[in-house]
Amino acid sequence: MTDYRVAEAAEILGVSTDTVRRWIEGGRVPSRSADGRTVVGGVDLAAFAASLADEDERTRTRADAVSARNRMSGIVTKVVKDTVMAQVEMVCGPYRVVSLMSSEAATDLGLEPGVRAIASVKSTNVVVERH
């Protein structure tokens, strides 16, 4: 399982480390200690990021501020595959990004909830690559 330090989780979520620590202390983000450091499991972080995207007004009010050519670092929150195609959902800071690609590409990239990735957006195309 992939674990993220507090600073990495903050970068993925697009917030400060203090905010992530407050969320951990408040019980909103599950965490544990590993080698004397606080870490958040990738699957837990993906679930929390997805819940933020659902409730976050910034996803609707800031969407027009994004250039048509952006590379956004984020975390994979959901992957749905059939025999030919895969739907990959990510949260990149305050944005929810969905990409359609071949199932083979999603498998080759190792895309699954909790994995960091980069979404490259140009017009109607979203390209996802491993971080």
Question: pLDDT (tens digit, 9 = 90+) per residue, 9-65?
Answer: 999 888 889 999 999 999 999 999 988 999 999 999 999 988 887 765 444 444 444
23: phi then psi, degrees, rounded to nearest 5: -65, -40
Are residues 37 and 93 located together in one domain of the fold?
no
Are residues 12 and 52 located together in one domain of the fold?
yes
Give the chain's domain count: 2
**Tokens linked to 116:** 């960091």
What CATH number is given to the structural domain containing 19?
A: 1.10.1660.10
Tens digits of per-residue pLDDT, 104-120? 999 999 999 999 999 98
Are residues 48 and 65 located together in one domain of the fold?
no
Are residues 107 and 85 located together in one domain of the fold?
yes
Are residues 25 and 74 located together in one domain of the fold?
no
Are residues 65 and 118 located together in one domain of the fold?
yes
Q: Which of 56, 75, 95 is the last residue of a domain?
A: 56
Higher pLDDT, 15 or 69: 15
> Strands 3-5, 125-130: parallel, antiparallel or unpaired by DSSP?
unpaired
On the question of pLDDT at 69 being above 70, the answer is: no
Matching residue, tokens 């949260």:
91
Q: How confident is the model at residue 1 (pLDDT cuts 50, 70, 90)?
A: low
Q: How confident is the model at residue 127 (pLDDT cuts 50, 70, 90)?
A: confident
User: What pLDDT is recorded for position 59?
Assistant: 47
What sign has the CA pseudo-torsion 72, 79, 76, 54? positive
CA atoms of 60 and 116, how far apart (whole Å) = 23
**Tokens linked to 7:** 């600073």
- Owning domain of residue 98: 61-130
